[in-house]
Amino acid sequence: MSEKKGLIQEFKEFIFKGNVLNMAVGIIIGGAFTAIVSSLVADIIMPLIGVLIGGVDFAGLSVQVGEATITYGNFIQAIISFLMIALVLFWIIKGAKKFEKKQEPEPEPEPAPAEPSEEAKLLMEIRDALVKKE
């Protein structure tokens, strides 16, 4: 029974570590973010691009090869969607870096003390001799 309890405890520790929870939250938010960007591309950007290039509907672009229909317009939309997601993530990461604590450079180690002068050495010898006499 203690082995089972140990396994459950290890699993709880694994699940509740910050990295696992952060990753789960990131995946969930990433899915929602992808839906937003996909809608932005499919519903706003692609129709505008279609208007600019003469009313072309990218979703309808396809070619028939035998009995297969190749919808390359969807592929073009997927590429634009990817580029938009990459651009937005670039902006987010760039903005986040501004808020990160700037790490201060480590202070340089102090140089080793200079060799004492001849006068200082002589004074130390006199001091040591006086201490021995006492």
CATH number at residue 6: 1.10.1200.120
Domain around 79? 2-96
Positive or negative torsion for Cα 51, 55, 58, 60: positive
User: Is 59 a member of any domain?
Assistant: yes
Q: Nearest-CA neighbor of 58 among 36, 40, 80?
A: 80
What are the tens digits of pLDDT across the range 18-45? 677 778 888 898 888 888 877 887 788 8
Number of domains in the chain: 1
Whole-prediction pTM value? Answer: 0.49
The chain-wide mean pLDDT, for the chain, equals 81
> pLDDT by residue for the chain (134 residues), tens digit each?
556 678 888 877 777 776 777 788 888 988 888 888 778 877 888 788 878 878 777 777 889 999 999 988 888 888 887 888 788 778 888 888 887 766 666 777 777 778 888 888 888 888 888 888 76
The burial class, CB within 10 Å (0-12 / 13-18 / 19+), for 18 is exposed
